[in-house]
Structure 1
Amino acid sequence: MMQYDMALTFYEKASSERPMYAEAYCNMGVIYKNRGDLEAAITCYERCLAVSPNFEIAKNNMAIALTDLGTKVKLEGDINRGVAFYKKALFYNWHYADAMYNLGVAYGEMLKFDMAIVFYELAFHFNPHCAEACNNLGVIYKDRDNLDKAVECYQLALSIKPNFSQSLNNLGVVYTVQGKMDAAASMIEKAIIANPSYAEAYNNLGVLYRDAGDIALAINAYEQCLKIDPDSRNAGQNRLLAMNYIDEGNDDKLFEAHRDWGRRFMRLYQPFTSWNNSKDPERPLVIGYVSPDYFTHSVSYFIEAPLIYHNYAKYKVIVYSAVVKADSKTIRFREKVLKKGGIWKEIYGTDEKKVADIIKEDQVDILVELTGHTANNKLGMMACRPAPVQVTWIGYPNTTGLPAIDYRISDSLADPPETKQKHVEELVRLPNCFLCYTPSPEAGPVCPTPALSNGFITFGSFNNLAKITPTVLKVWARILCAIPNSRLVVKCKPFCCDSVRQRFLSTLEQLGLEPLRVDLLPLILLNHDHMQAYSLMDISLDTFPYAGTTTTCESLYMGVPCVTMAGSVHAHNVGVSLLSNVGLGNLIAKNEDEYVKLAMKLASDIPALQTLRMSLRELMSKSPVCDGANFIRGLESTYRSIWRRYCDGDVPSLKRLELLEPPVSTDKNSEPTRVTNGIEGSTGSVKANGFNSAQPLKLNTNGWEENGGSLKNSK
């Protein structure tokens, strides 16, 4: 009759009349459990089992209550205590799949993935209908780059639950990573049909469209995600990144989008406003570098020089590494930093507010974030403002929009003094190029220009499809149509998908370029093979308006001259800075017609191309773009200058923060409003916030009958 207070009264009377009355204690436990009073329920089950140790229903109910209590304390922040309750649950019911599943989730959150795998597999063994366990196994295998195993796990989950939106989404994520765009789109669209309010599936659809080069569809998908979940960090930042690809720099819309994002994002955090750092303008400084990209990643080629060449006597370097999956480059970076006397701290998986507390305790003077709005960034940590001076550099071609960041590092060519581009941060310009490139030791030798043996010119680009806009293709087609027998080679991941290849070739054919003159290469996995692929091209064609960065440096280092086009904002002018500093300012066009003429002029003299090719690596190596020792002197001088400004009371971000609304919560330990369940499975392409491979967390799934069965009448 659901008159629980009366029921408890009579159960208590029954147990006082007969202290060995196990069923009464068990049924009391059920009532407390259903009311959410897990501790009281557990006490009742303990009383029951004390008088009847083999009462199976009570043992099963105890396991359920302990599992729920484990989840409760884990969500309150005590994950170790949660694990202890899950394990205690298995003491009472050693084949309780829900306890095993939740142990898998807990170990995953603790980054103990081997243990997580064990318990997910046990959960599936004891409950073959547990699609969630299969799904979560897939996330772990995907993050370990075992994509075939991940696909197998997701497909197994879908064989159990065909409309399981998370596994449909996650399978789409893996197919996107593999470049299987059609299969990926099919899976993610099915996920949305199965769950129309699945915000992150729209985000992942946007990543797919971006990788396939359709920026308009990508932005639309991100905005669909944001309609459902306005606080979706992935979609919000992916949208900003996507807008860079099509920004002509003629208005302030892109700046306003970044500024508005930054204001909204800041409301989730309570920034520090005071620090204990000594305001001595000339003392040795503590410089903190924060990035998830200390592995074989585009940013890593530009961060290596500062880590190596810093004067460690005057600048104490602390590296905060959020690398998801370390590789040999990560190990090399770490060894070099430690050998120089720096400090290396792993922060992957640590809450951003806790990272901020760590940085503040380390008394970092100048904190430099290297990611911007790209994958696995720590802008939430930057929003907490743990250092008195905060800087953004390298990883993103625009303002972060975050009021808590003081400065953005650039140079006078990428961001001329007369630029009309707006930034939330204050621009500081290095003496030469704002980048210092450290070539890959696996690059291999420069090969002769292929036109010598081919008898025709090959143009090429290894930029991603999002940068190869219809306007770019139109200009490239003009160049190739003007030069008989010339060819075009383009390499990017989605070209393993037939529909993407056909769409690309069809566009060029409509512009007058026969498909037989175009070679499309899919992703090349090994770095040495990727670098040697530059031997296929005579001349590199940069993209516009969003210019290449790492691809331009790779091209020049491999002896391939690159034609670029100047524009009105930073993302347009990175090639201008790189080519000017290498001594190839003659390859910078001011408009499309000039771009075509420069490419044709280069192509007209094959012997000159060969001479330039064989001298270009040395020219680049001796230029400011590769001179790490000289570069770091300019960087350290800039750091000293902005530190002196701080000591004089000039703190740009504090002035901005005073104008903001107060944060949503002043609790330093509170989480942002967006909550993710289970293990956050984020991956993505080189320059984007990644996918969100979400999986459900089974909190209160009761696999056993909880009621105490038929009640025995006393004689």
Structure 2
Amino acid sequence: MSSLETAMIKARGAEKRGDFAEAERVYGSILQKFPGNTRARKGMDQMFKNRALAMMRADAPSQAEIDALSAAYEQGRLAQVVAMAEGLLVPYPRSTIVHNLLGAAFLTLGQSDRAEAALREAHARGVRHPAICNNLGMALANLGRHDEAIAFYEEAAALDPSYAIARNNLGNALKECGRDEEALAAYHQALALRHDYTDASNNLAVLLDKLGRVAEAETAYRQVLSLQPDHAPACNNLANLLVGRGDYAGAHAFYAKALAIRPDYPEALLNLGNLLKRQGRTNEASTMFERAKAARPGYAEASAEQGKAEALAGHLDLAIALFDEALASDPAHAGAEAHRLFYQLHMADWSRLGDWPALRDRADTAISPWAALALEDDPQAQLRRSRGWTQLSFGCTKAPLPQPQPAADGRIRVGYFSADFHAHATVYLMAGLLREHDRSKFEIHAYSYGPVVDEAVRAQIKACTDSFTDVQDMADAEVVALARQHQLDVAVDLKGYTQGGRTQLFAERLAPVQVAFLGYPGTSGADFIDYAVADRTVVPASETDSFSEALMLMPGSYQCNDDQRVIADTAGTRADHGLPETGFVFCCFNQSYKIGPREWAVWMRLLNQVEGSVLWLFQSNAWADDALRAEAAKHGVAPERLVFAPKLPQAEHLARHAHADLFLDTFNYTAHTTASDALWAGLPVVTLAGRQFSARVGASLLTAVGLPDLVTETIEDYEALILALATDPAHLAELRQRLAANRTTTPLFDSAGYARNLEAAFAEAYRRHQAGERPHEIVID
């Protein structure tokens, strides 16, 4: 018999006699001579477990009492476990096994603070038992003390190297501490110990997803479901991943599967509701949010998301009530508070605007950068918010650049992506650009991911493009593949962070040059958008660093326009529009959310100073109409001096401008297409130039149409200029004549000239890419 066998027999004998110190000494001497001996290592590990069990039985109740306590725990009679354990600890205060079972019961009951106290008592007895260490780690993790939990999970894993649960829990704690690579290693260790450990596979997939390793994450989720098809969290998480990739049909199927397994699964109900909301199915979405709240009473996130759905459906009063409901459950819910404020602006309810300064930093990733534009005029804040939103929405994915081959005919291939290829402001502005593109030098593609609203507009766009593709029902990967099949050189995002955008497409890299244009008046904050179309008025040189993109600076305005827009011959009379036949008509057709108390106070002072005048406003919604009438009364203005204009077809809307005398612009978010409408219809606009892009568009348009004298720099100058024009008919008439002449001679309404300038910018960006240059500012003279 070898000396190794003799030593192993000696160690096992000492263990059987209860002489654990001798057994540890012998096993240790074996491992010192033979460190790779697996039998000795397993023997040592088992000896530690047996010693721990023996120590746990010391100072313990009878075996019958322990068996009864253990049976109650295994059967889930947790309240009884607590009562029995606390009773047994009176005569046996040092019983490790009772403290452990009491701690485990508290842990299951969700009373983590009491679990920690009991488990620390068990651990303090000097018993090195992996389950005690693991349970104590779980209690600490539940209390948010992940750094402390890590030490106990590591101790549990050291005591029992085969303890896969401890490795999985260690991964969770490491992830919470931002130690992602170590967490990945812990999950892989757990799976090496238990190949069928579905929870560890799911946790691994979640972390891979977070790290932007989407393909690996999807593989891991599908591995979980191959092992355990009824793993509801994996179904839910895989559905979330598919939503992020634009595969809405696939996501819907997996949410449905998760809910078939667990009909009251709150997170899956919430996520399915969000998907339905994104698809515009707001009634169905609201039903899902109701189910989520029923499954988890006080579920603030479900209340907040339901509020957004109801707002999109036009039920603003119900939306506000739901945001209030969310805040009653979670007063710190920044998303609910920020969205409540945003939709109150739509209702012209300014009662909580004073809350914004305290909320603005907390709301950086709680509200879309677009929704924050009307709340403040701060370019650097918008950049910070956009970067945070980009990181939250798209993670750290760094897609490789496509490398399309140059077109055989030498043309540069440009793709425009939007949800708004219908009777929408974007198309009203772009129609001239699309019509005037030089198709001998540029191959133009359009990709629509919005609903089919009117075929006539689509037919108009199709006639101006080499291809028009409806990609609404295509997953992101399919759209990206199609763009690469078309070998796009330049991809143009016409939506940005406005409602219904699919910026994720650009994160996956549709083309080597990617450009933000027209739809979103600000920076994307994204490193995958190379250029933003601007001009030196909307983005002064002093604010260039508030854009993550390099700028394409147009010589007139960044905004394209159609110089063939039709103005209907349906103006009628003032009375046809509810206006007085005489008296000065101030006008603002901006949406109600752009109007704030600062401009309103100016407008009311003007009404009080210009006798017989009225203010003609766009009719956004009934709540805003009523609120603005009430605000007028507060300023001593009769509510009937406000006239609300209903929505009309575009040509008829342009025609009614003839009855207004002067357009008054808003401040943080000025008129954009609305200002172009007024100027094209011959109505002068007075604007206040702010700091951020959205607050300077009015200034850009007026400068490009040759009326820079209507751009003011202070509220006092804004008010004084409007009053001067309203009380000087000759000066106003001269302005109208100048505007009429300038419409055909200045850059703003020169569709062909704009097309040449934008094409020159695209061509230069493409040349730089071909030359291996990094994107940097392009100035078109």
Q: Give, in angstroms, the shift of residue 632 of structure 1.
A: 0.8
Unpaired segments ≥5 residues, structure 2 = 1-164, 166-203, 226-235
Between the aligned partners of 1:164 and 1:302, the Cα distance in structure 2 is 43
Matches within 5 A, 1:585-600: 585-600=708-723
1:652 corresponds to 2:775 = yes
State whether residues 289 and 320 of structure 1, in contact with CA within 8 Å, keep that contact through their aligned partners in structure 2: yes
Q: For this pair of structures, how many residues does the alignment match?
A: 571
In the superposition, relative to structure 1, how do residues 642 and 457 fare at CA in structure 2: closer, same or farther (>3 Å)?
Answer: same
Q: Give, in angstroms, the shift of residue 541 of structure 1.
A: 0.3
Q: Which residue of 2 aligns with 1:211?
A: 346
Q: Name the SS of the counterpart of 1:455 in structure 2.
A: coil
Between the aligned partners of 1:464 and 1:179, the Cα distance in structure 2 is 14
1:237 corresponds to 2:372 = no
Q: Give, in angstroms, the shift of residue 634 of structure 1.
A: 1.5
State whether residues 289 and 303 of structure 2, in contact with CA within 8 Å, keep that contact through their aligned partners in structure 1: yes
Q: Which residue of 2 aligns with 1:474?
A: 601
Q: Name the SS of the counterpart of 2:772 in structure 1.
A: coil
| Equivalent in 611, 614, 622 of residue 496 of structure 1 | 622
Between the aligned partners of 2:242 and 2:456, the Cα distance in structure 1 is 25
Q: Which residue of 1 aligns with 2:161?
A: none
Q: Give, in angstroms, the shift of residue 552 of structure 1.
A: 0.6
In the superposition, relative to structure 1, how do residues 111 and 289 fare at CA in structure 2: closer, same or farther (>3 Å)?
Answer: closer
Q: Give, in angstroms, the shift of residue 429 of structure 1.
A: 1.8
Between the aligned partners of 1:107 and 1:537, the Cα distance in structure 2 is 50
Q: Which residue of 1 aligns with 2:104?
A: none
Between the aligned partners of 2:247 and 2:769, the Cα distance in structure 1 is 42
Between the aligned partners of 2:593 and 2:753, the Cα distance in structure 1 is 34
In the superposition, relative to structure 1, how do residues 557 and 650 fare at CA in structure 2: closer, same or farther (>3 Å)?
Answer: same
Q: Which residue of 2 aligns with 1:246?
A: 377
Q: Name the SS of the counterpart of 1:311 in structure 2.
A: coil
Q: Give, in angstroms, the shift of residue 542 of structure 1.
A: 0.8
In the superposition, relative to structure 1, how do residues 257 and 170 fare at CA in structure 2: closer, same or farther (>3 Å)?
Answer: closer
Q: Give, in angstroms, the shift of residue 285 of structure 1.
A: 0.8
Between the aligned partners of 2:252 and 2:390, the Cα distance in structure 1 is 40
Q: Name the SS of the counterpart of 1:344 in structure 2.
A: strand
| Equivalent in 607, 625, 642 of residue 748 of structure 2 | 625
In the superposition, relative to structure 1, how do residues 326 and 274 fare at CA in structure 2: closer, same or farther (>3 Å)?
Answer: closer
| Equivalent in 299, 302, 318 of residue 183 of structure 1 | 318
Between the aligned partners of 2:258 and 2:503, the Cα distance in structure 1 is 36
Q: Give, in angstroms, the shift of residue 273 of structure 1.
A: 5.0
State whether residues 298 and 329 of structure 2, in contact with CA within 8 Å, keep that contact through their aligned partners in structure 1: yes
Higher mean C-alpha displacement, 281-290 vs 116-125: 116-125
Q: Name the SS of the counterpart of 1:472 in structure 2.
A: helix
Bigger relative CO (Cα 8 Å, ≥ 6 apart):
1
Q: Give, in angstroms, the shift of residue 187 of structure 1.
A: 1.9
State whether residues 389 and 651 of structure 1, in contact with CA within 8 Å, keep that contact through their aligned partners in structure 2: no
Q: Name the SS of the counterpart of 1:254 in structure 2.
A: helix
In the superposition, relative to structure 1, how do residues 644 and 121 fare at CA in structure 2: closer, same or farther (>3 Å)?
Answer: closer
In the superposition, relative to structure 1, how do residues 335 and 257 fare at CA in structure 2: closer, same or farther (>3 Å)?
Answer: same
Between the aligned partners of 2:530 and 2:390, the Cα distance in structure 1 is 15
1:635 corresponds to 2:758 = yes
Between the aligned partners of 1:643 and 1:118, the Cα distance in structure 2 is 41
C-alpha distance after superposition, 1:84-136 (max 9, x if no partner): xx9xxxxxxxxxxxxxx99x9999999999999999999999x9999999999
In the superposition, relative to structure 1, how do residues 394 and 339 fare at CA in structure 2: closer, same or farther (>3 Å)?
Answer: closer
In the superposition, relative to structure 1, how do residues 537 and 160 fare at CA in structure 2: closer, same or farther (>3 Å)?
Answer: farther
In the superposition, relative to structure 1, how do residues 171 and 330 fare at CA in structure 2: closer, same or farther (>3 Å)?
Answer: farther
| Equivalent in 278, 289, 293 of residue 416 of structure 2 | 289
State whether residues 446 and 614 of structure 1, in contact with CA within 8 Å, keep that contact through their aligned partners in structure 2: no
Q: Give, in angstroms, the shift of residue 178 of structure 1.
A: 5.3
In the superposition, relative to structure 1, how do residues 440 and 240 fare at CA in structure 2: closer, same or farther (>3 Å)?
Answer: farther
Q: Name the SS of the counterpart of 1:296 in structure 2.
A: coil
Higher mean C-alpha displacement, 339-348 vs 479-488: 339-348
Between the aligned partners of 2:642 and 2:706, the Cα distance in structure 1 is 30
Q: Name the SS of the counterpart of 2:749 in structure 1.
A: coil
State whether residues 369 and 382 of structure 2, in contact with CA within 8 Å, keep that contact through their aligned partners in structure 1: no
1:552 corresponds to 2:552 = no
Between the aligned partners of 1:275 and 1:131, the Cα distance in structure 2 is 40
Between the aligned partners of 1:541 and 1:293, the Cα distance in structure 2 is 27
State whether residues 154 and 170 of structure 1, in contact with CA within 8 Å, keep that contact through their aligned partners in structure 2: yes
The AA in structure 1 aligned to 2:319 is A
The AA in structure 2 aligned to 1:188 is F
Unpaired segments ≥5 residues, structure 1 = 1-34, 36-71, 87-100, 227-231, 655-715
Matches within 5 A, 1:654-673: none
Matches within 5 A, 1:437-476: 437-438=561-562, 444-445=568-569, 447=571, 450=574, 454-476=581-603
Matches within 5 A, 1:22-171: 168-169=303-304, 171=306
Q: Which residue of 2 aligns with 1:672?
A: none
C-alpha distance after superposition, 1:1-52 (max 9, x if no partner): xxxxxxxxxxxxxxxxxxxxxxxxxxxxxxxxxx9xxxxxxxxxxxxxxxxx
Q: Which residue of 2 aligns with 1:484?
A: 611
Between the aligned partners of 1:587 and 1:446, the Cα distance in structure 2 is 28
Between the aligned partners of 1:266 and 1:138, the Cα distance in structure 2 is 18
In the superposition, relative to structure 1, how do residues 519 and 135 fare at CA in structure 2: closer, same or farther (>3 Å)?
Answer: farther
The AA in structure 1 aligned to 2:421 is Y
State whether residues 383 and 546 of structure 2, in contact with CA within 8 Å, keep that contact through their aligned partners in structure 1: no
Q: Give, in angstroms, the shift of residue 456 of structure 1.
A: 0.8
State whether residues 248 and 275 of structure 2, in contact with CA within 8 Å, keep that contact through their aligned partners in structure 1: yes
Q: Which residue of 2 aligns with 1:702?
A: none
Q: Which residue of 2 aligns with 1:580?
A: 703
Q: Name the SS of the counterpart of 1:454 in structure 2.
A: coil
Q: Name the SS of the counterpart of 1:575 in structure 2.
A: helix
| Equivalent in 398, 401, 416 of residue 271 of structure 1 | 398
Q: Which residue of 2 aligns with 1:388?
A: 512
In the superposition, relative to structure 1, how do residues 169 and 534 fare at CA in structure 2: closer, same or farther (>3 Å)?
Answer: farther
Q: Which residue of 2 aligns with 1:539?
A: 662
* Identical counterparts, % of pairs: 24
Q: Give, in angstroms, the shift of residue 192 of structure 1.
A: 4.4
C-alpha distance after superposition, 1:648-685 (max 9, x if no partner): 3322279xxxxxxxxxxxxxxxxxxxxxxxxxxxxxxx
Q: Which residue of 1 aligns with 2:90?
A: none
The AA in structure 2 aligned to 1:337 is K
Pick the structure with more helix per residue.
2
C-alpha distance after superposition, 1:551-575 (max 9, x if no partner): 1112223443221233455333322
| Equivalent in 430, 450, 461 of residue 336 of structure 1 | 461
State whether residues 370 and 520 of structure 2, in contact with CA within 8 Å, keep that contact through their aligned partners in structure 1: no
In the superposition, relative to structure 1, how do residues 151 and 390 fare at CA in structure 2: closer, same or farther (>3 Å)?
Answer: closer
Q: Give, in angstroms, the shift of residue 236 of structure 1.
A: 5.2
Between the aligned partners of 1:488 and 1:576, the Cα distance in structure 2 is 22
Between the aligned partners of 2:531 and 2:467, the Cα distance in structure 1 is 24
Q: Give, in angstroms, the shift of residue 206 of structure 1.
A: 4.8
C-alpha distance after superposition, 1:451-508 (max 9, x if no partner): 9962211212122334323221232223222211211132253x412xx556544544
State whether residues 303 and 326 of structure 2, in contact with CA within 8 Å, keep that contact through their aligned partners in structure 1: yes
Between the aligned partners of 2:737 and 2:417, the Cα distance in structure 1 is 37
